[in-house]
Amino acid sequence: MPIEIPKDKWAGSIKAITIGATSAEGGTRAKAVTVGGGTTMPYLQFEAPTPNKPVIAIEIKSRKPEDWSPLLAEVWGEAMADSAQWAKKAEEAGADLIVLALTVEDNPEDAVKAVKSVLGATGLPLIVWGPGQAEKDNELLVPISEATKGERLVLGICEDKNYRTIVATAMANGHLVQARAPMDVNLSKQLNILISDMGMPKDRILMDPTTGALGYGMEYGYSVMERLRLAALQGDAMTQFPMIVTPGFEAWKTKEAKVGEGVPQAWGDWKARAINWETLTAIALIESGADVVVLRHPESVKRIKEAIEELITA
Amino acid sequence: MALSGIQIYKMLPQTNCKECGFPTCLAFAMKLAAKQVELGSCPYVSEESKKQLAESAAPPIRLITLKSNGTEVKVGNEVVMFRHEKTFYNKPGLFLRVKASDPDIAKKVAQADAYKVNYVGMDFTLNGFAIEADGDASTGSAQVLSAAVKAVREVTKRPLILIGSDAAALDSSLSLLVNESTLIYAADSSNYESLADVAKKHKAVLVVKADSLDDLADLTQKIQAKGVEDMVLDLGGKNLSEWLARSTQARRLALKNFKPLGYPSIFFAAQNGLDKEAVYAAQAIAKYAGFVVIDTFAPEMIYPLLVLRENIYTDPQKPIQVQPGVYEINSPKPESPVLVTTNFSITYFAVANEVEGSGLPAWLVVTDAEGMSVLTAWAAGKFDAERIAKAIKGFDVASKVSKKRIVLPGHVAVLSGEVEEELSDWEVRVGPREAVDLPAFMKQALN
Ligand code: B12
Ligand code: SF4
């Protein structure tokens, strides 16, 4: 008995957005990365092919992080003290993009230097995060933006309290922005509107709906992402941006990933558990619509890469 | 599909005799549609109407219960595609597969059976075991499978799945599992008649397997015609994307009341290798599987999978919370510190477990923050100086302690000034941001 498979027909689609610019496009990247463009709920190939696969960014820092799990220190080793080295290793580990996270200790010169050295060390497109304090973010991101005009970096993280300066400089220098709202469809939408109202072209916004780690609020982010994707497909223009999420940052904050001793035996082997924590947080978010996942451990990168390849084959 | 009040009304006697306790049949029909009363309250419904109403009330995805003499697992009965539309109800059963010919089968099962892990106050375990007829058992030697079933039953009381294609071997093994509801894997177009007979004889649940949804729907109908009602679908699919497609399609069809596919599904997570097992299982949990079978007993994989399952199946309308109050950790004394937190379960247990594990005594004051985490509650105005003061006063914490000193979570350091104003006779301290650092803080800073 042939069954008629119910297919959803949507009015809207996700915008396709390109991160990074090659020399032909006014930058220096070996290759640009395009994400988004989807016209169905995630990976429903029987409705329409997935035009661009989700990509993996590896997060590195401008200074050696002292509070990262020893498991991360073990794999990245010396490279953690040198962002150019680290970026190179991240590329070897299979990253499609690099996230360079700056710290409060950085001054503008250091920060620009770090960005330049990362751009020199790898041909991958780059996302740069300020340290997360409004004034400091502006102080560091503006000179970086100017010094890298035309590279199509992603600058972040724009939040409702602090987006104007970052958006303005990104607009002036041909970069993109990462727009983060705390796990709420309307807040995401509102921030996207504010950013668009400043004149930011719509193909230069990535939205970050905020996520929690597995076991620490992940399910809220999961559902908000599904709802954002549904809203986008229904035609709501201010939700039609590709989504970037940070499962690496969240998962490696948890006790399950951070702590090896004095934890219940039922948690099992520390390293395998920590990597599973990151990998499972990431795969769940990919299933709910993430276009860019930012990870920290090379083994998670490898596993998520394999999963992505499978998900996008028809 | 659920019927409207008017549709139900048309099936009632329409005499308004009031025996159901409602003034009119229409009023009763409305209550029925809202599922607030039982059809049994009307003594005059015709058999025909009863049957029609029962069919319309049947869930779009059949509720399947596997049962042993110890525990049971229920799957199915789902009503939405996305959890935010309502909630997902019955968590997929997580089963560990063992081979009948494995000489260590009893040891392996016993170890996995004892596995228990606590997540925010809830104990999670595996739901059961799948015994696969392999070696001699798969070529028809019923003894090997029976011996394995006996050995397993001696070490676990959890429900079982029997995997095999030989009807006679399954039959004799099922005879050992009296008063249980076992899952048999799997009937296909070549063997469904004999397996359906076995399932019927033992009141077992039957997995049905085919290469396409079309064939699967044909087969479930044939099996149903043989009198088997309880079925589970093996949707096939060679990789993540194919299985996602089929699982989505089957769920959509079932929710549109397409009965031949109105059953939960089963998924084998290690089908493409052990290195992919965790990711495969994760997708299956998120995307509608009824049973997930794993091959590896590895706590470091099972714990995150159980947490993922809990997260996905948590009702989005109701965050998991604990009762506000003063919790005593490690038998605190009057001089022990007073720690303040919120009543979101994840937050409470993060703090309580940390302090408990350190062996240090403390009073943990859980404020009513409407089930939100520290920062969420702070941002929403549900965890402020006023609420904290209200909790300290309301729970009369002062009467329990000799040192009036409270410790706030580091994330809400900004509140300390206001709290000092509200609780002028208390010393207010700011603790670390993360609970992991609490024991060290308590040892160093609180003496
Ligand atoms: C899940 C989540 C939600 C969920 C709610 C979950 C819940 N039941 O609380 C939802 C989606 C509903 C939500 C809503 C909102 N959220 Co929210 N949310 C989160 C998220 C992702 C995780 C929070 C969480 O569960 N953490 C885990 C728990 C265990 O952490 P915790 O309670 O802080 O406890 C830890 C420590 O504080 C410490 N600790 C706890 N108690 C104590 C006690 C002592 C003595 C000590 C020393 C330590 C200590 O130990 C714990 C473990 O280390 C965070 C961002 C993030 N990734 O952290 C944002 C976040 C908390 N949310 C935020 C905001 C703004 C909101 C909203 C106001 C926005 C909105 N959407 O409207 C609303 C408010 C709610 C409302 N109006 O109804 C902001 C807060 C910003 C700020 N700094 O002020 C955050 C930080 C996101 C962001 N970056 O903007 N949120
Ligand atoms: S008992 Fe039945 S027939 Fe009588 S009023 Fe109620 S619904 Fe109508």
The answer to whether the Cβ–Cβ distance between B282 and A269 falls below 8 Å is: no
The answer to whether the Cβ–Cβ distance between A280 and B300 falls below 8 Å is: no
pLDDT at B259: 93
Protein residue closest via CA to atom 2 of ligand 2: B42
- Which CATH number applies to B325-445? 3.40.50.11600
Strand partners, B233: B208, B265
Chain A, nearest residue to B250 by Cα: A5
CA of A159 to the centre of ligand 1 (A): 16
Instruction: Provide the chain A residues 224-243 that lie in CB contact (below 8 A) with chain B.
Output: 226-227, 230
Q: Closest partner residue to B304 among A45, A276, A311, by Cβ?
A: A276
In this structure, are residues A90 and A62 in contact, taking their beta carbons and an 8 Å threshold? Answer: no
Single-letter amino acid, residue A23: S
CA of B13 to the centre of ligand 2 (A): 7
In this structure, are residues B201 and B171 in contact, taking their beta carbons and an 8 Å threshold? Answer: yes
Q: Which of A308, A267, A240 has the alpha carbon at shortest distance from A96? A: A308
Ligand 1 pocket: which of B375, B383, B429 to mutate (most atoms <8 Å of CB)?
A: B375
Q: Which residues of A97-134 are buried (b: 16+ CB within 10 A; e: fewer)?
A: bbbbbbbeebeeeebbbbbebbbebbebbbbbbbbeee
Question: What's the burial of B395, exposed, middle or buried (CB within 10 Å: 0-12/13-18/19+)?
Answer: middle
Sheet holding B405-408, edge to edge: B325-329, B362-367, B338-342, B405-408, B427-430
pLDDT at B287: 98
For the CA atoms of B250, B253, B258, B262, the dihedral, rounded to the nearest 10 degrees, stands at 40
Whether B38 lines ligand 2, by a CB cut-off of 6 Å, is: no
User: What architecture is domain B5-57?
Assistant: Orthogonal Bundle (1.10)
Ligand having the closest approach to the CA of A210: 1
Whether B42 lines ligand 2, by a CB cut-off of 6 Å, is: yes
Name the strand (E) or helix (H) holding B4. Answer: none
pLDDT at B357: 87
| A29-309 placed in CATH 3.20.20.20 | yes
The answer to whether the Cβ–Cβ distance between B311 and A222 falls below 8 Å is: yes
Predicted complex: ipTM over 0.90: yes
Least confident of A137-151, A215-229, A290-304, B51-65: B51-65
Single-letter amino acid, residue B172: S
pLDDT per residue as tens digits for the range A131-163: 999 999 999 999 999 999 999 999 999 999 999
Whether B12 lines ligand 2, by a CB cut-off of 6 Å, is: yes
Rounded to 5 degrees, φ, ψ at A91 are -65, -45
The DSSP letter of residue A63 is S
Rounded to 5 degrees, φ, ψ at A215 are 80, -10
**Higher pLDDT among residues A308 and B319, named by residue:** A308
Q: Which residues contact A5 (CB under 8 A, 6 or more apart)?
A: A46, B213, B249, B252, B253
Whether B21 lines ligand 2, by a CB cut-off of 6 Å, is: no
Give A182's contacts in chain B (Cβ within 8 Å).
379
pLDDT per residue as tens digits for the range A242-253: 999 999 999 999
Grouping H, G, I as helix, E, B as strand and the rest as coil, residue B165 is coil
B320 touches chain A (CB under 8 A): no
Helix H, strand E, coil C: the string for A122-185 is CCCCEEEECCCCHHHHHHHHHHHHHHCCCCCCEEEEEECCECHHHHHHHHHHCCEEEEECCCCH
Ligand having the closest approach to the CA of A225: 1
| B64-312 placed in CATH 3.40.50.2000 | no
Q: Give the whole-angstrom CA distance, residue B81 versus residue A223.
A: 12
The answer to whether the Cβ–Cβ distance between A45 and B118 falls below 8 Å is: no
Concatenated DSSP letters for B91-150? PPEEEEEEETT-TTHHHHHHHHHT--EEETTEEE---EEEEE--HHHHTT-HHHHHHHHH
Atom of ligand 2 nearest to the CA of B19: 1
The answer to whether the Cβ–Cβ distance between B434 and A314 falls below 8 Å is: no
**How far is residue B238 from each of residues A267, B157, B241, B278, measured CA to CA in Å?**
31, 33, 8, 16
In this structure, are residues A224 and A180 in contact, taking their beta carbons and an 8 Å threshold? Answer: no
Q: Closest partner residue to A215 among B213, B307, B434, by Cβ?
A: B307
The answer to whether the Cβ–Cβ distance between A303 and B214 falls below 8 Å is: no
Instruction: Provide the chain A residues 51-70 that lie in CB contact (below 8 A) with chain B.
Output: none
Question: What's the burial of B87, exposed, middle or buried (CB within 10 Å: 0-12/13-18/19+)?
Answer: middle
Q: Where are the alpha helices (DSSP H) in chain A?
A: 70-76, 83-92, 108-121, 134-147, 164-173, 185-197, 218-233, 247-251, 255-258, 270-287, 298-312
Protein residue closest via CA to atom 27 of ligand 1: A216
Per DSSP (E only), the strands in B125-250 are 128-132, 160-163, 183-187, 205-209, 231-234
Rounded to 5 degrees, φ, ψ at B76 are 95, -160
Q: Which of B416, B424, B334, B341 has the alpha carbon at shortest distance from B382? A: B341
The answer to whether the Cβ–Cβ distance between A43 and B241 falls below 8 Å is: yes
Q: What does each of the 447 residues of chain B score in pLDDT, given as a tens digit?
A: 567 888 889 999 999 999 999 999 999 999 988 878 888 889 999 988 888 887 777 789 999 999 998 899 999 999 999 999 999 999 999 999 999 999 999 999 999 999 999 998 899 999 999 999 998 877 778 899 999 999 999 999 999 999 998 999 999 999 999 999 999 999 999 999 999 999 999 999 999 999 999 999 999 999 999 999 999 999 999 999 999 999 999 999 999 989 999 999 999 999 999 999 999 999 999 999 999 999 999 999 999 999 999 999 999 988 788 999 999 999 999 999 999 999 999 899 999 989 998 999 999 999 999 999 999 999 999 999 999 999 999 999 999 999 999 999 999 999 999 999 999 999 999 999 999 899 999 998 876
Distance of CA A177 to the CA centre of its chain: 11
Q: State the number of CA atoms in the 13 A half-sphere of B330 facing the CB.
A: 15
pLDDT per residue as tens digits for the range A24-65: 999 999 999 999 999 999 999 999 999 999 999 999 999 999
In chain B, DSSP finds a helix count (H) and a strand count (E) of: 17, 17
- B411 to chain A, closest Cα gap in Å: 14
- A151 to chain B, closest Cα gap in Å: 34
- A45 to chain B, closest Cα gap in Å: 7
pLDDT at B141: 82
Mean pLDDT (whole number) for A74-86 = 97
Give B217's contacts in chain A (Cβ within 8 Å).
1, 3
Concatenated DSSP letters for B325-377? EEEEES---TTS-EEEEESBHHHHHHHHHHHHHHT--EEEEEE--TT--HHHH
Ligand 1 pocket: which of B376, B438, B443, B446 to mutate (most atoms <8 Å of CB)?
A: B376
pLDDT per residue as tens digits for the range A109-121: 999 999 999 999 9
Rounded to 5 degrees, φ, ψ at B371 are 70, 30
Q: Helices A108-121 and A134-147 meet at what angle, rounded to 10?
A: 50
Q: Which residues contact B374 (CB under 8 A, 6 or more apart)?
A: B341, B342, B344, B347, B383, B409, B411, B412
B314 touches chain A (CB under 8 A): yes
B379 touches chain A (CB under 8 A): yes
pLDDT at B333: 94
A297 touches chain B (CB under 8 A): no
B346 touches chain A (CB under 8 A): yes
Concatenated DSSP letters for A86-114? HHHHHHHTT-SEEEEE--TT--HHHHHHH
Give A265's contacts in chain B (Cβ within 8 Å).
299
B110 touches chain A (CB under 8 A): no
Q: Give the whole-angstrom CA distance, residue B427 versus residue B5.
A: 62
Q: What is the pTM of this model?
A: 0.90
Ligand 2 pocket: which of B6, B8, B16, B50 to mutate (most atoms <8 Å of CB)?
A: B16
How many degrees, rounded to 5, is the angle at CA B193 between CA B187 and CA B198? 75
Domain extents in chain B: 5-57, 64-312, 325-445
Chain B, nearest residue to A214 by Cα: B308
Protein residue closest via CA to atom 66 of ligand 1: B376
Chain B, nearest residue to A271 by Cα: B300
CA of A135 to the centre of ligand 1 (A): 23
Chain A, nearest residue to B358 by Cα: A262
pLDDT at B114: 98
Q: Which residues contact B253 (CB under 8 A, 6 or more apart)?
A: A3, A5, A6, B213, B261
Ligand 2 pocket: which of B25, B26, B46, B53 to mutate (most atoms <8 Å of CB)?
A: B25
Protein residue closest via CA to atom 7 of ligand 2: B25
The answer to whether the Cβ–Cβ distance between A307 and B240 falls below 8 Å is: yes
pLDDT at B2: 66
A3 touches chain B (CB under 8 A): yes
Chain A, nearest residue to B297 by Cα: A268
Model confidence band, residue A218 (pLDDT cutoffs 50, 70, 90)? very high
